[in-house]
Amino acid sequence: MKIIREFLPYFDERPNGATVKALVLHCSAHSARDMIEVLRERELSSHYIIDLDGSVWQLASEKKRAWHAGESRWRGMHMLNQYSVGIELSSATLGQSAYHPAQIKSLIKLGRQIIRHYQIPAVNVVAHSDIAPTRKPDPGIAFPWEYLAYKGIGTWYNLADAAKVAENEVAVLLQKIGYDTTDLAAASYAFCRHFAPAAVAVDDDVYHLVDNVYPVDFTLPPEYLPILKAVAHRYEK
């Protein structure tokens, strides 16, 4: 894979004993070139960007702790910058409309390499919204999680597994998957973004979306409880 390298200075060393255990997937409403300038202005970085045409840019060595995830939690990990590789994808709608096939093709190739190299468990291939549900909506409802799982990037659920789960408490099931449920509405909405996007409203104004990530009064619609149970079963295996 051809990679365009334009390293940014916004990274540091991973803490002693911290190993890569997760792949965090993001999107930003900018082309790669514009995204690099935005990251530079904000003194942030990601390990990779996948542009609209599928071209791949590297901004930091995988050996280093890039500054892409911020305050975040997932399956016992806190501050996932320490434990992850981050990939940004360009998306003018913040992932609310379909990604270009060239981007997904590049993501599959790059993601497989990273997952294989670090032996990242499928349950630790996550959305930025999964690990920071109160702050981030990306990579959005149009991100093709089911297809990517088929291609070896992350995992998906089998709805028949819902019958194997006796638990019905939403917070408990979300915690089994890995979500921080301190804000249950945010965690529930993030779950829907990943696994039940039909429950998530499209926001035509991406600037509004960035500042209004989830409805503060959101509760998981009862018809989506079987999906939640099936996902929890898959993530507990």
Residue 111's H or E segment, with its range, is helix 101-118
- Per residue, what are the HEC states of 51-99? CCCCCEEECCCCCEEECCCCCCEECCEECHHHHEEEEEEECCCCCCCCC
From 37, 62, 71, 88, active-site residue = 88
pLDDT at 145: 98
CB 89 within 8 A of CB 25: yes
What fold does the segment set 3-236 form as a domain? Lysozyme-like (3.40.80)
Cα–Cα dist 73/180, whole Å? 6
- Identify the CA nearest to 194 among candidates 236, 133, 152, 151: 133
Structure tokens at 221: 């619609």
| 6 noted as active-site residue | no
pLDDT at 94: 98
pLDDT at 1: 81
Cα–Cα dist 138/127, whole Å? 7
- Identify the CA nearest to 192 among candidates 160, 159, 219: 219
Per-residue pLDDT of the chain (237 residues; tens, 9 = 90+): 899 999 999 999 999 999 999 999 999 999 999 999 999 999 999 999 999 999 999 999 999 999 999 999 999 999 999 999 999 999 999 999 999 999 999 999 999 999 999 999 999 999 999 999 999 999 999 999 999 999 999 999 999 999 999 999 999 999 999 999 999 999 999 999 999 999 999 999 999 999 999 999 999 999 999 999 999 999 997
pLDDT at 237: 75
